[in-house]
Amino acid sequence: MHKPGTWIEVNDLMQTGFGYELVVSAGEGFAPDFKPHFMPKEMLELGVFEGKYMNDCRDEFPPDWYENAKISDTPDPSLNYFGIKSRQSLQVWQEKGWIIEPDPRGWFQWYCRYYQGRRIPEVDVLQIKRWKGFARHVGQIKANCLPGDTSCRPRQRQALLQWAYDPFI
């Protein structure tokens, strides 16, 4: 893990010549109202985004994040924890205005960078607000599924996992 003050240089398929400074230690200094259930490494190991997310970004993040990650060169829903497709294309995210710069891949990229220690207050506030709004899916699962029945609403559970919420409620 990098230390505060480290400059991260990004050169991948979606960003070249971009960089940012880590201002806090990894996994620390989160906003008080942002309490994700999973770290990015755990999410990648459990199986998210059909294994096709940030595969070309390995130089930006700690190598151990990828040691047991379920990744693929092509989208593969069987790599998702719940074994089903549960994502929309980046094009859909762009069309709906869900991409907040400087993170062209969306919320999870922001979360990975935030977890690493990057802070951009105006962006962080917006992304945390979006994360908090996703909690409505927890309520829907609780209202419609028996406790412990993880076969109920697997698409919604996969989406929760992809937003760092506990899908095993």
Contact (CB, 8 A) for 53 and 66:
no
- Residue range(s) defining the domain that contains residue 95: 35-162
Instruction: Give the pLDDT score at 92.
Output: 87
Residue 12 inside a domain? The answer is no
Instruction: Give the pLDDT score at 27.
Output: 97
Which residue ranges of the chain lie beneath pLDDT 50? none
**Between the CA of residue 20 and those of 1, 28, 56, 69, 154, what are the distances in Å?**
15, 17, 18, 24, 36
CA gyration radius for the chain?
16
Residue 60 inside a domain? The answer is yes
Residue 79 inside a domain? The answer is yes
Contact (CB, 8 A) for 134 and 165:
yes
Total number of domains in the chain: 1
pLDDT digits (tens, 9 = 90+) for 95-122: 988 889 999 999 999 999 999 999 999 9
Residue 154 inside a domain? The answer is yes
